[in-house]
């Protein structure tokens, strides 16, 4: 099947269908939000890509392993008292900077050299 399907509605719409696309081809769903168009694309093992129409870079990539990549920064808007992220790994995260450790500002920690 090729071509386009246009649906204009102001009410909720549910579309449940499986569309099989060969792994060598792209499947694209274009969504309109206000004056912006967003392309949701999938191809083979690329995972799911979200790109604003006209933008040169992908805004979000969800790969087949569940990893999320974004070109910008992570912004959390959860209320104070709610953890903005949850981490299960205990592995050191290189280049992660923190000003507070258990509620204490690192400037307030006495630096002691042990020999």
Q: What is the pLDDT of residue 53?
A: 87
pLDDT of 3-21, one tens digit each? 666 666 666 666 666 666 6
Extents of the domains making up the chain: 1-73
Specify whether the CB–CB gap between 5 and 13 falls below 8 A.
no
pTM above 0.85, yes or no: no
Which residues contact residue 64 at a Cβ distance below 8 angstroms, ignoring those fewer than 6 apart?
Answer: 45, 47
Specify whether the CB–CB gap between 99 and 106 falls below 8 A.
yes
pLDDT of 50-107, one tens digit each? 889 888 888 889 888 888 888 888 888 999 999 888 888 889 888 887 777 777 887 7
pLDDT bin (cut points 50, 70, 90) of residue 43 is confident
């Amino acid at each position: 099947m090729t071509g386009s399907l246009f649906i204009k509605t102001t009410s909720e719409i549910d579309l449940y269908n499986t569309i099989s696309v060969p792994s060598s081809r792209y499947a694209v769903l274009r969504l309109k939000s206000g004056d912006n168009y967003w392309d949701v694309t999938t191809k083979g093992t690329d995972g799911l890509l979200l790109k604003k129409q006209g933008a040169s870079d992908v805004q979000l990539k969800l790969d087949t392993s569940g990893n999320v990549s974004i070109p910008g920064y992570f912004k959390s808007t959860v209320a104070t008292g709610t953890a903005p992220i949850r981490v299960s790994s205990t592995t050191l995260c290189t280049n992660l900077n923190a000003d507070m450790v258990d509620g204490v500002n690192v400037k307030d920690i006495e630096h002691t050299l042990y020999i």
